[in-house]
Amino acid sequence: MKAAIEASGLDKPAAFGAASAGPVAIAYAAVQPERVSRLILWCSWAKGSGILLPSTNAWQGPLDHDWQQINDTCAHLVLGWYEGEIGRRAADNPRVGLTPGIVRTALVAAGTIDVTAILGQVDAPTLIFSRPDISWIPSQSTRIFFVGIPDSR
């Protein structure tokens, strides 16, 4: 996050964190408040262990057996796109740069993320978006932002 903000050349840009990038944006906004004008969170969470539900764990087993099907399923599960060019591209992207092992490692790491203790340190006005039709992000994962981050909407 720091490198991206520095590369932008902007003094105090808005930080955007979607899904697993949300905790990174939260941590940066909490630790570097002078560098973040606003924080925007989309379909994110503060504590990774709260999103590793049976529905997301169920598809981890077949990672090594049908990589193409797993990518298609994940694109639909994560993004909610079932048809069209956007859905096909979303499913194709992981096939290009990821392996089943990388995905498995990332899922384990995501479960260890917890920025709940620093939510109160976020000084920037925060806008929170969520999609209720994405079943793997429990509604309480979004509600914690409203309780923990001052000036959040």
The predicted-structure confidence for 89-111, as pLDDT tens digits, reads as follows: 777 777 778 888 888 888 778 88
Residues of the chain with pLDDT > 70, as a percent, come to 86
Q: What is the mean pLDDT of residues 60-89?
A: 72
The predicted-structure confidence for 35-54, as pLDDT tens digits, reads as follows: 999 999 998 999 988 776 65
For residue 128, is pLDDT > 90?
A: yes
Mean pLDDT of the chain: 83
For residue 73, is pLDDT > 80?
A: no
Q: Supply the pTM of this predicted model.
A: 0.79
- Which H, E and C letters describe the chain, residue by residue? CHHHHHHHCCCCCCEEEEHHHHHHHHHHHHHCHHHCCCEEEECCCCEHHHCCCHHHHCCCHHHHCCHHHHHHHHHHHHHCCCCHHHHHHHHHHHHHHCCHHHHHHHHHHHCCCECHHHHHHCCCCEEEECCCCCCCCCHHHHHHHHHHCCCEC
**What pLDDT sits at residue 125?**
97
For residue 34, is pLDDT > 90?
A: yes
